[in-house]
Structure 1
């Protein structure tokens, strides 16, 4: 937890699932009292890994490790790791190409993409549409498409575009992918989405907006180019001599499609200025013709990071500053506690093992350490771990003030056995929200979701009650809004803050400027604040669920289905409890899941679902607020079990002189006892929450 040990964390009685009495104690008196060690996909503690477990050929990962990394997406969606936070991408992985009517706008690079091949591929797609839809549905789709086009041509109000057309259930994912591409190629003014196994077609609002800036032919050509994803290709708009108009086009494309493409103005052979568009390169996804460039791009170095009394993102900011790379060049499996000694796996891009090892003598003064440095072939992903191991000292054990006649050691033993058997409510811990700080991360997340970009920036720079250089700089910014002056005051290792300030200095402290500021920091850091808000809502939802229903499984609750779990989407795996199943006690509370708020999750159909909608509406949010195209963020939501269990839980008592006292030993009333606890938890579970259930006291 990030708060001091003296900062109370209040638990209401309704937040517990066990009926034991509990006890009191202090955690995190010293950072070494709270040791967190990641457990990798092989079940190894990351601070005990030997480099010889890796392949000797070039230092790359072993076949087993590589297989785990390649399967990480499947693992993130497995029931054992329900709430790994990731973006859902459009369901389209075909290799679609451009039709003949826009070939004049596509600049090809490479002989493998000849005009003949492009036309052949496009005709294949047209044939696919005919072969996958029967004639009646094909005709209905055509009529729907042209009714939308007619309404657009008549400049009808936007409300008319709320009409949708469903192609009906299409269970096979590969068929859906082919249809998505084929429909969008033939009708670029339509958008397609998947809802519960059905393809739903509706008007493409991006097409309508783009047509206000360019011709209909250019808009159609661009959207076909965008959907085709033709490797090594570019799209050119018609020559445009109006600089202000070009700026509007650049801005629109960056705002709507900046995650996929980048734009630049060029002077063609006729000395006319054209806007050129190309796809952004993604590591490992595009071929490089220059061998030297490829070798440079493929440099990944893995290491185990040890940190003490430092946030994970702060540690990354400091390391990136020392190495001269971006914070986004670091990948990791999860955020670790601040007031603790933690060991976690990391991978950094564009840095050799030799260069990283040179930092060893520099970073020690920052409470950082590096070990197990070696080359790997790819970055890490969130949730790519089996869990975290915790070794914790709880100091100064005492009975609760109202427990006058209890035996302290008996209370401890009872609590341990209860939680070992019954588990604990799987709350997000206070470190998720920055408890003890003036501004919590969930407040920043709500401002971002609400589109209040300036407010979010000011919350981000709200200082704490101290006079260190960082908080002095923050105070100066809040008082003066002088981004350039604040930059001069801010330490170099505060990389996030400096990147945001540089953007604000360039674009200004206004809505658009603040959007550019947020876009300047890595995606993982932007999404962190939004997820903090969603985590807070999840905590409140679970408390409400336990308060009104207890540990009974009731009609309308959600569980994961055990049928066809590998072949369907996450939402298809969710099953709603029926009255008959409630009566038969078919499911237990440890199977019940609660959704994390997002635009594509299913909510319970009982009072918990009603609570969600009222709670979000109270913050001024609707489901569409969880798509943030301006910030290139999407929050589809996910699912998280109500209960979790500590694994391999063991404990022993320590006297004030550090001597080990076994649970069954004698206890002297005048002797101060401490408790040594060891266990491991699944990913995204919090040891402080587990301890809260065990002790039932303010931590």
Structure 2
């Protein structure tokens, strides 16, 4: 997929082979720091289970009042109150544990009164004069909210000035909202704006000031599997109003349920509990689903998909399997080419993308000069190539494995057919065989020749799960538009959208190559640059800025800040020649700029942004002779006898093969 694509570096490179064996390509997942910490906490909990609960598990805290455990999915996570048997279940292997944010403020320093730490943080970030102005603004706003018929209260705002440092902006966002939960913060061109939170004001009319403040601190913390409880409330109609408010304002993020509690007078009462929705849930739950048991199946969750021909190390979580059981079956799993180690209990599953990056240890064998390179200094060529990419980075293309390397029909072709709603064409592309004789390709060949789905189903090996799911639907509904549509619906959503994402990735690769060919490494008017602002009140598109002519003249941005859109229905395009290229390219494939929804297949592709360039971290390498007695210092040695051992770290969604392509100036 990358043969004629642009490079960002200009060194000559060299030739070699990769993945001669799985041990030549070792991938180790780099875990998120907070996940490492929470895993350690979970392991500590397992080892000290005899200790009192409040001492042995930092994830849990004691409830404010004695409560009965809420039924349904709220019993799954770690939350305030004594845990039910299903919480932090020591029978679940893998994952991590989150803290309850019922007390979201950081612990105060010794001798410091509650609330003073936030004030101290604000003063250190803003300076005393601006901090005092913010305090006065906050007080005046609350006073105005207390007055009836004060129409201008919601329009008041204050500027904290420009904050250029990204980390300082993030700290300031957090400090303001923790100190003043009734305020919201936003950033526009590095300028910090603060105004009143209309949702806070509305909830404040329904519950107490303390409950409102605590609720918005809980919301701002966004700790997964955490919960928040309102005070006991015996008024059913009032509880209904509070339920409706939360569902109307935060329904995509939160879910609510009333459950029985024991109040301060030891009398039974009702309280509303709020929790964050599980991100993995893509379908709406039925009205009675709170009562349904959620853990109905055993599955593996993981954070990243790794190379097939490689040795890979990554955390996994297995639901409904005890650590003891995993240890028992370790030898059986080993026969399948897998090894399990560091087994311990955790409280959460894993999600794709929940990783810091990947570390690669790669061996490139059979090193040679390129045919057009007359230099005899192979060692010098390798050193030059590695140092060049170490300094300048590499073009952030999607790797060949994204598209089905070496296949007669690549995944992006199927994705384009699905986007054009050509269901039969997409199905026949999927069943196009490779040029080999084996049971899988024989079954595909038979199906295309006869359209006999039942006969092809019998011919397929059991492990071809996706093909079997499609053929069962085609056998039932027929090989026509309707039948193929139902066939595609018969496989999981993640599999359907995989093909469409492959097409979008192909367009991005072509766009990146075109952008570098016409503009090079200079940032020009109309380019898109991305602000990594942490404020979630700002939409993705508002974080993307179109470079102006004065900004181009002033060289305000670097090529490392330039992003290109992954096509979709809700993104902006560059306003220079690259934007025009996108329009012409999509028109060539009979697609409009806004048409990235396939309703019959429940596919919705809003689009996103991806940096053109990426940097490699912690890069090191050495050369090794394949036979004893070969001196690597000798630059005139037999080329094929030398191997390159190279190690580096990459961010998530970056491809080691693409980084190697930039270093070696060759395609794999």
- Asked if Structure 1 and Structure 2 have the same fold, meaning a TM-score greater than 0.5 normalized by the shorter chain, the answer is yes
Q: 1:60 to 1:353 in 2, by over 3 A?
A: closer
Q: What displacement does 1:499 show?
A: 1.8
Q: 1:591 aligns with which of 561, 579, 583?
A: 561
Q: Is 1:31 equivalent to 2:1 in the alignment? A: no
Q: Is 1:622 equivalent to 2:614 in the alignment? A: no
Residue aligning to 1:22: 13
Q: 2:634 aligns with which of 656, 666, 672?
A: 666
**Residues 197-596 of structure 1 correspond to what in structure 2 (within 5 A)?**
260=283, 279=286, 287-288=290-291, 293=293, 296-297=295-296, 329-353=299-323, 356=326, 360-561=330-531, 565-596=535-566
Secondary structure at 2:429's aligned position in 1? Answer: helix
Q: Which runs of 5+ in 1 are unaligned?
A: 1-8, 71-130, 135-168, 180-223, 234-257, 262-277, 300-324
Secondary structure at 2:446's aligned position in 1? Answer: helix
Q: How many residues align?
A: 470
Q: 1:24 to 1:563 in 2, by over 3 A?
A: closer
Q: 1:591 to 1:467 in 2, by over 3 A?
A: same
Secondary structure at 1:279's aligned position in 2? Answer: coil
- Deviations, residues 487-509 of structure 1 (Å, cap 9, x unaligned): 22222222222222222222222
- Deviations, residues 112-156 of structure 1 (Å, cap 9, x unaligned): xxxxxxxxxxxxxxxxxxx9999xxxxxxxxxxxxxxxxxxxxxx
Residue aligning to 2:32: 41
How far apart, in 1, do the equivalents of 2:316 and 2:489 lie?
Answer: 23
How far apart, in 1, do the equivalents of 2:533 and 2:35 lie?
Answer: 31
Q: 1:171 to 1:44 in 2, by over 3 A?
A: closer
Q: 1:426 to 1:53 in 2, by over 3 A?
A: farther
Q: What displacement does 1:483 show?
A: 1.9
How far apart, in 1, do the equivalents of 2:11 and 2:507 lie?
Answer: 27
Q: What displacement does 1:667 show?
A: 3.7
Q: 1:683 aligns with which of 652, 659, 664?
A: 652
Secondary structure at 1:525's aligned position in 2? Answer: helix
**Residues 134-213 of structure 1 correspond to what in structure 2 (within 5 A)?**
none
Residue aligning to 1:59: 90
How far apart, in 2, do the equivalents of 1:345 and 1:37 lie?
Answer: 10
8 Å CA contact 1:260, 1:279 repeated in 2: no
- Deviations, residues 143-198 of structure 1 (Å, cap 9, x unaligned): xxxxxxxxxxxxxxxxxxxxxxxxxx99999869999xxxxxxxxxxxxxxxxxxx
Q: What displacement does 1:288 show?
A: 2.7
Residue aligning to 2:244: none
Q: Which runs of 5+ in 2 are unaligned?
A: 50-88, 102-148, 153-187, 203-246, 259-280
Q: 1:511 to 1:54 in 2, by over 3 A?
A: farther
How far apart, in 2, do the equivalents of 1:279 and 1:481 lie?
Answer: 39
Q: 1:27 to 1:380 in 2, by over 3 A?
A: same
Structure 1-normalised TM-score? Answer: 0.60
How far apart, in 2, do the equivalents of 1:173 and 1:332 lie?
Answer: 40
8 Å CA contact 1:426, 1:643 repeated in 2: yes
How far apart, in 1, do the equivalents of 2:200 and 2:665 lie?
Answer: 51
Q: Is 1:650 equivalent to 2:585 in the alignment? A: no
Secondary structure at 2:595's aligned position in 1? Answer: helix
8 Å CA contact 1:51, 1:372 repeated in 2: no
How far apart, in 2, do the equivalents of 1:606 and 1:69 lie?
Answer: 48
Q: What displacement does 1:540 show?
A: 0.3
Q: 1:403 to 1:45 in 2, by over 3 A?
A: farther
Q: What displacement does 1:654 show?
A: 0.6
How far apart, in 1, do the equivalents of 2:200 and 2:649 lie?
Answer: 40
How far apart, in 2, do the equivalents of 1:133 and 1:630 lie?
Answer: 46
Q: 1:406 to 1:573 in 2, by over 3 A?
A: same
Q: 1:55 to 1:455 in 2, by over 3 A?
A: farther
8 Å CA contact 2:91, 2:321 repeated in 1: no
How far apart, in 2, do the equivalents of 1:561 and 1:506 lie?
Answer: 50
How far apart, in 1, do the equivalents of 2:251 and 2:392 lie?
Answer: 52
Q: 1:454 to 1:365 in 2, by over 3 A?
A: farther
Secondary structure at 1:651's aligned position in 2? Answer: strand
Residue aligning to 1:637: 607
How far apart, in 2, do the equivalents of 1:571 and 1:673 lie?
Answer: 49
Q: What displacement does 1:477 show?
A: 1.7
How far apart, in 2, do the equivalents of 1:63 and 1:441 lie?
Answer: 32
Q: 1:175 to 1:434 in 2, by over 3 A?
A: farther
Q: Which moved more, 1:604-613 or 1:472-481?
A: 472-481
Q: What displacement does 1:339 show?
A: 2.0
Residue aligning to 1:187: none
- Deviations, residues 376-428 of structure 1 (Å, cap 9, x unaligned): 33322221100011110011111122221341101111111110000000000
Q: 1:695 aligns with which of 658, 664, 668?
A: 664
Q: 1:345 to 1:681 in 2, by over 3 A?
A: same
Q: What displacement does 1:352 show?
A: 4.5
- Deviations, residues 639-688 of structure 1 (Å, cap 9, x unaligned): 110110111000000101378977xx334523611100000100000011
How far apart, in 2, do the equivalents of 1:69 and 1:500 lie?
Answer: 43
How far apart, in 2, do the equivalents of 1:259 and 1:405 lie?
Answer: 57
Secondary structure at 2:33's aligned position in 1? Answer: coil
How far apart, in 2, do the equivalents of 1:660 and 1:332 lie?
Answer: 43
Q: 1:587 to 1:348 in 2, by over 3 A?
A: same
Secondary structure at 1:593's aligned position in 2? Answer: strand
Q: CA RMSD in A?
A: 3.9
How far apart, in 1, do the equivalents of 2:518 and 2:374 lie?
Answer: 31
8 Å CA contact 1:55, 1:61 repeated in 2: no
Q: Is 1:11 equivalent to 2:3 in the alignment? A: yes
Q: 1:430 to 1:447 in 2, by over 3 A?
A: same
How far apart, in 2, do the equivalents of 1:373 and 1:62 lie?
Answer: 7
Q: What displacement does 1:542 show?
A: 0.4
Q: 1:60 to 1:548 in 2, by over 3 A?
A: farther
8 Å CA contact 2:94, 2:345 repeated in 1: no
Q: 1:636 to 1:557 in 2, by over 3 A?
A: same
Secondary structure at 1:436's aligned position in 2? Answer: coil
